[in-house]
Chains A and B, each alone.
Chain A
Amino acid sequence: GAVVSQHPSWVICKSGTSVKIECRSLDFQATTMFWYRQFPKQSLMLMATSNEGSKATYEQGVEKDKFLINHASLTLSTLTVTSAHPEDSSFYICSAGLAGGSGELFFGEGSRLTVL
């Protein structure tokens, strides 16, 4: 079946530094990928929609200058958390799916970010 892979699976960084998380669709092309954030004991919250070859679409309340998204190819989207602070510590998850609104979506393994 289709697979979505994220890297790194976990990262620890100092406050003020930037961190890049990669999301790859391994055996299918994804013109659209989605980035979610999940805080402990909470559900997944959609952050942004990553569109191949164009600008990402951000959900209300998500700072586009802080969470930079690049979708340069049909199999790779990256999320960069710029000038990370402890409140950005979270579990970041990407997803992608085949075309059509009825099919299943595939999720990455998640990337746990801890900002010290």
Chain B
Amino acid sequence: DAKTTQPNSMESNEEEPVHLPCNHSTISGTDYIHWYRQLPSQGPEYVIHGLTSNVNNRMASLAIAEDRKSSTLILHRATLRDAAVYYCILRDSNNAGNMLTFGGGTRLMVKP
């Protein structure tokens, strides 16, 4: 799987938007961009994923660069419960397996 690069940590103020960047310069045409987050002492949970177009769901928005070499997860209004490690992961749609390869992720800290 192609590698992703994320900042180790970021800080945000409560109720402000948060933009979490991810670089994936070696992405292939069949790679989906997935975001998961892990709250303290819990298993990861799915946030959002996309291929080429920007995506929105109830949790977040995903902005994908035109060349697909980077993407940004957007939390529109951060809450204290959004404090977690956010993982940006590429998954090859041709891969019949469902495993994910986790990188270091970005630890998001939200200040009240």
Contact = CB atoms under 8 A, between A and B. Distances in A.
B102 A101 contact: no
Contact of A49 (B38, B45, B97, B102): B97
Contact of B100 (A6, A95, A100, A112): A95
Contact of B44 (A44, A45, A99, A103): A44
Interface in A87-109: 91, 93, 95-97, 99-109
State the main secondary structure of chain A at its contact with B: strand
Contacts of A108: 43
A106 B100 CA distance: 11
A40 B78 CA distance: 25
A49 B32 CA distance: 21
Given A95-B43, A101-B98, A43 B103 contact: yes
Interface stretch (B21-29, B67-75, B88-96): B88-96
B51, B91, B103 pick with most chain A CB within 10 angstroms? B91
State the main secondary structure of chain B at its contact with A: loop
Given A43-B103, A43-B104, A101 B95 contact: yes
A93 B43 contact: yes
A97 B102 contact: no
A101 B44 contact: no
Nearest to B32: A102
B101 interface: yes
A67 interface: no
A13 B86 CA distance: 31
A96 B99 CA distance: 8
Contacts of B97: 32, 49, 101
B6 to A, nearest CB: 11
A17 to B, nearest CB: 23
A97 B41 CA distance: 21
Given A43-B105, A102-B32, A109 B100 contact: no
Interface of B: 32, 34, 36, 38, 41-46, 49, 51, 87, 91-105
9 contacts: A34-B98, A44-B38, A44-B102, A49-B97, A95-B44, A95-B98, A101-B96, A102-B51, A105-B36
